[in-house]
Amino acid sequence: MTVLTDRHGTEKYSADGHHAEREAIDAGLREAAARLPGPAAQIAAYHFGWTDRDGRPVDANSGKALRPLLTLLAAKAVAGDWRQAVPAAVAVEMIHNFSLIHDDIIDRDGVRRHRPTAWKVYGVNDAILVGDALHALAFEVVAEAGGEKATLGTGLLAQTVRALIEGQLADTRFEDRERVDLAECEAMSEAKTASLMGCATALGALFGGGSREQVDALQGFGFRLGLAFQHVDDLLGIWGDPAVTGKAVYSDLRNRKKSLPVTAALGSGHRDADELARLYRAETQLDETALRRAADLVEACGGRIASQQAAAALTEAAANRLAAEPFHDEAVAELTALAASTVGRVR
Amino acid sequence: MTVLTDRHGTEKYSADGHHAEREAIDAGLREAAARLPGPAAQIAAYHFGWTDRDGRPVDANSGKALRPLLTLLAAKAVAGDWRQAVPAAVAVEMIHNFSLIHDDIIDRDGVRRHRPTAWKVYGVNDAILVGDALHALAFEVVAEAGGEKATLGTGLLAQTVRALIEGQLADTRFEDRERVDLAECEAMSEAKTASLMGCATALGALFGGGSREQVDALQGFGFRLGLAFQHVDDLLGIWGDPAVTGKAVYSDLRNRKKSLPVTAALGSGHRDADELARLYRAETQLDETALRRAADLVEACGGRIASQQAAAALTEAAANRLAAEPFHDEAVAELTALAASTVGRVR
């Protein structure tokens, strides 16, 4: 399978097509965002890459839309009409973007998708409010679908937001701690990333009319894929090509992030782990030589291979969850291909 | 009717009793907040006045709980079991407090209910996340109730959050504008305050099993009462006793807030309006003499009497909405008394 990249070099996972699904997601997002009060609608449109900072239409990079696509493929997998699941897909993407906007404020991240972040352009106050607006909008869109899927969906969405917040609280606290266990780091990644991907596939199954068992199996698929995705993201945060990731080279090491491969390396007991810990404790900024050295130490301590293996094992475990229940074959193939291309971002 | 004050001098509207309702609200809030991840639960407990900053139980001022009480009385008014409406009351109070926590960050307000605000104690980042957590929790609690009331309630709650955000966006923009029409200021107050009080009573009616017409009438009651409440709050922001309001004397004038009475005064065409406008444009802080002069000018331009009359007229209009549908007499009397005591805070 080929993986296409857009003009920013960001992978779009679009080799498999999914054109109709992507268009429906885009239309649903734009329709929902249009309900926001004027200034919030403008900021949301900028954040989603639909307009420039002055509100002029542009064709910027709106992100991978991985989560809403998972939602629609999950609806297909239960042999449902994926169009029924568009509100769920829109809600998941709204929650994802609400959390990105607030996390960028919290982490003081100034760049996302190769553009200045919302708070950088419009200020912290407006960015807080736009995040809040997208958060509420997600619940509104799900509630409008009506029936039991709306109440179950709302509950799942709310629990997922709680997990996201738990993960973000843990993440900010890790920065101030010298020592973080790999188990803690995995729990944080599960809360911050895996929970929303599990929610994406569960909601798709729910809105597609799947059985309780199918919803559970697809949630399990999304959750495992989400954790694999985080391992890959953390590998890219060290060894990723800045032209592709949109981040500086060695960005996670520069920020002393206790990511999965770094945590594995620090806890490895390898003789080089102490040197890595010293670099992470250094009071001054790390220069290019020190950053390269830190990356080499993570690799020497087995952090790189550990995350590569974990990502591969989790992707396989995710696929196995789909074998446990009867699903629509073509959709299973699409989900598996999407999982492979997600994890295949890293060598 | 007597109005009791707690040991901080804040009115509690508790003369009418409602002890069972208040206890159920308190228990519901504590039960829901206990689901939050550790650090978020601690910050929420501090914000609600249940603990001090170190997590030790205290009996601080948790606020008036006016909105959730309105919810339960609305459920009674449709002859429903008010206990059925406790989740709705909890959700409304969660939304109110989420918006307080975020607004305090945005407005840089350092004191609320006579205590340092959440962001002052725990930092902006954690306060953003705790607000987000309470926001999601409100939807979770409503969704758990299940059935049509849950989906309708979620939708109404989400639309209300959108209105709150619209109001807050307008409010922050008013500060930078020299001229604000009274109509704009009223629209902002409707969005920021009236919408949530209308939502509180509507949800109560919905969860109490009221008809569509009853829900609408009670929403109309709450909305009008909410706008009356804002007029009163704005009067207290100028002439309120600091010992009662918990704010500095003339606090809204000090902050050059374009509140309802000030906006009415500035747009009155009275010969003193220009002097008031000059004081509001002054580049230096206003001293006590200037603040007293500004307050006198608002009064001379008719701003004080305008808000007093508006509050009285809106309270009457609110009560009239209850006459339009068949309601439980005793609950109507309780709602009317609560409305009177709310507006009666100001002389």
Q: How far is A199 from chain B (nearest CA, A)?
A: 15
Q: How far is B123 from chain A (nearest CA, A)?
A: 10
**CA pair distance A47, A51, nearest whole angstrom:** 8
| Partner-chain contact B128 A136, CB within 8 Å | no
Of B140, B152, B165, the CB nearest to A129: B165
Of B35, B143, B148, the CB nearest to A154: B143
Closest CA to B62 of B14, B17, B16, B108: B14
Count of Cβ atoms closer than 10 Å to residue A28 Cβ: 21
Residues paired with residue A111 on neighbouring β-strands, in sequence order: A116
**CA pair distance A274, A272, nearest whole angstrom:** 6
Residues of chain A in contact with residue B173, where contact means CB-CB under 8 angstroms, are 39
| Partner-chain contact B161 A133, CB within 8 Å | yes
Residues of chain B in contact with residue A159, where contact means CB-CB under 8 angstroms, are 140
Rg for chain B (alpha carbons), in Å? 20
Question: Cβ(A294)–Cβ(A208) under 8 Å?
Answer: no
| Partner-chain contact A159 B147, CB within 8 Å | no
Count residue pairs from A and B with Cβ separation < 8 A. Answer: 136
Mean pLDDT check: name the lowest of A232-241, A263-272, B61-70, B110-119.
Answer: B61-70
* pLDDT value at residue B10: 42
Q: How far is B163 from chain A (nearest CA, A)?
A: 8
**What separation in angstroms does the CA of B79 have from each of B68, B74, B116?**
17, 9, 41
Residues of chain A in contact with residue B196, where contact means CB-CB under 8 angstroms, are none
What confidence tens digit (pLDDT) does each residue in A61-80 have? Answer: 666 799 999 999 999 999 98
* pLDDT value at residue A227: 98
Burial of B319 (0-12, 13-18, 19+ CB in 10 A): middle
pLDDT level of residue A60 (50, 70, 90 thresholds): low
| Partner-chain contact B136 A161, CB within 8 Å | yes
Q: B5 — phi, psi (to 5°)?
A: -120, 150
Question: Cβ(A26)–Cβ(A90) under 8 Å?
Answer: no
Question: Cβ(A304)–Cβ(A261) under 8 Å?
Answer: yes
SS3 readout for chain A: CCCCECCCCCECCCCCCCHHHHHHHHHHHHHHHCCCCHHHHHHHHHHCCCECCCCCECCCCCCCCHHHHHHHHHHHHCCCCHHHHHHHHHHHHHHHHHHHHHHHHHHCCCEECCEECHHHHHCHHHHHHHHHHHHHHHHHHHHHCCHHHHHHHHHHHHHHHHHHHHHHHHHHHHCCCCCCCHHHHHHHHHHHHHHHHHHHHHHHHHHCCCCHHHHHHHHHHHHHHHHHHHHHHHHHHHHCCHHHHCCCCCHHHHCCCCCHHHHHHHCCCCCCHHHHHHHHHCCCCCCHHHHHHHHHHHHHCCHHHHHHHHHHHHHHHHHHHHHCCCCCHHHHHHHHHHHHHHHCCCC
Q: How far is B59 from chain A (nearest CA, A)?
A: 27
| Partner-chain contact B150 A151, CB within 8 Å | yes
Burial of B17 (0-12, 13-18, 19+ CB in 10 A): exposed
Q: B112 — phi, psi (to 5°)?
A: -145, 135
Residue A1, pLDDT > 70, answer: no
Its CATH architecture, for the domain B19-343, is: Orthogonal Bundle (1.10)
Q: How far is B156 from chain A (nearest CA, A)?
A: 8
Closest CA to A238 of A191, A303, A183: A303
Range A176-198 average pLDDT: 95
Ranges of residues in chain B whose predicted pLDDT is under 70: 1-16, 60-63, 345-347
Question: Cβ(A194)–Cβ(A224) under 8 Å?
Answer: yes
**CA pair distance A40, A126, nearest whole angstrom:** 8
* pLDDT value at residue B346: 57
| Partner-chain contact A162 B133, CB within 8 Å | yes
Mean pLDDT check: name the lowest of A111-120, A129-138, A207-216, A294-303.
Answer: A111-120
**CA pair distance A75, A99, nearest whole angstrom:** 24
Of B39, B140, B148, the CB nearest to A158: B140
| Partner-chain contact B128 A128, CB within 8 Å | yes
**CA pair distance B303, B286, nearest whole angstrom:** 20
* pLDDT value at residue B345: 67
ipTM of the prediction: 0.93
Of B132, B158, B161, the CB nearest to A161: B132
Question: Cβ(A205)–Cβ(A77) under 8 Å?
Answer: yes
Residues of chain B in contact with residue A125, where contact means CB-CB under 8 angstroms, are 105-106, 172
Residue A7, pLDDT > 50, answer: no
* pLDDT value at residue A6: 39
DSSP notation for B83-152: GGGHHHHHHHHHHHHHHHHHHHHHHT--EETTEE-HHHHH-HHHHHHHHHHHHHHHHHHHHHT-HHHHHH
A180 CB-near residues (< 8 Å, 6+ apart):
A174, A258, A263, A266
Of A39, A136, A155, the CB nearest to B158: A136
| Partner-chain contact B140 A126, CB within 8 Å | no
What confidence tens digit (pLDDT) does each residue in A301-337 have? Answer: 999 999 999 999 999 999 999 998 899 999 999 999 9
User: Beta strand A115-116 with A111-112: parallel, antiparallel or unpaired?
Assistant: antiparallel
Burial of B295 (0-12, 13-18, 19+ CB in 10 A): buried
Of B39, B161, B169, the CB nearest to A39: B169
Q: Which of A154, A172, A173 to mutate to test the interface with B (most CBs of B within 10 A)?
A: A154
Smallest CA–CA distance from A41 into chain B, residue:
B166
Instruction: Determine if residue A293 is left, alpha or beta; phi over 0 gives left, psi from -120 to 50 gives alpha, anything else beta.
Output: alpha
**CA pair distance A150, A148, nearest whole angstrom:** 5
| Partner-chain contact B126 A150, CB within 8 Å | no
Q: How far is A145 from chain B (nearest CA, A)?
A: 8
Count of Cβ atoms closer than 10 Å to residue B292 Cβ: 14
Residues of chain A in contact with residue B106, where contact means CB-CB under 8 angstroms, are 125, 128-129
| Partner-chain contact A40 B154, CB within 8 Å | no
Tell me which residue has tokens 């906007």.
A101
**CA pair distance A336, A328, nearest whole angstrom:** 12
Residues of chain B in contact with residue A172, where contact means CB-CB under 8 angstroms, are 125-126
Q: How far is A136 from chain B (nearest CA, A)?
A: 5
* pLDDT value at residue B61: 66
Range A20-28 average pLDDT: 96
* pLDDT value at residue A61: 66
Smallest CA–CA distance from B95 into chain A, residue:
A136
Residue A184, pLDDT > 90, answer: yes
* pLDDT value at residue A138: 98
**CA pair distance A341, A311, nearest whole angstrom:** 12
| Partner-chain contact B129 A158, CB within 8 Å | no
B interface toward A at CB cutoff 8 Å? Answer: 35-37, 39-40, 98, 102, 105-106, 125-126, 128-129, 131-133, 135-137, 139-140, 142-144, 146-148, 150-152, 154-155, 157-159, 161-162, 165-166, 168-169, 172-173
**What separation in angstroms does the CA of A142 have from each of A87, A92, A109, A139, B81?**
6, 9, 30, 5, 28
**What separation in angstroms does the CA of B250 have from each of B41, B227, B236, B296?**
35, 21, 9, 11
Question: Cβ(A230)–Cβ(A258) under 8 Å?
Answer: no
Residues of chain B in contact with residue A144, where contact means CB-CB under 8 angstroms, are 151, 155
**CA pair distance B240, B109, nearest whole angstrom:** 18
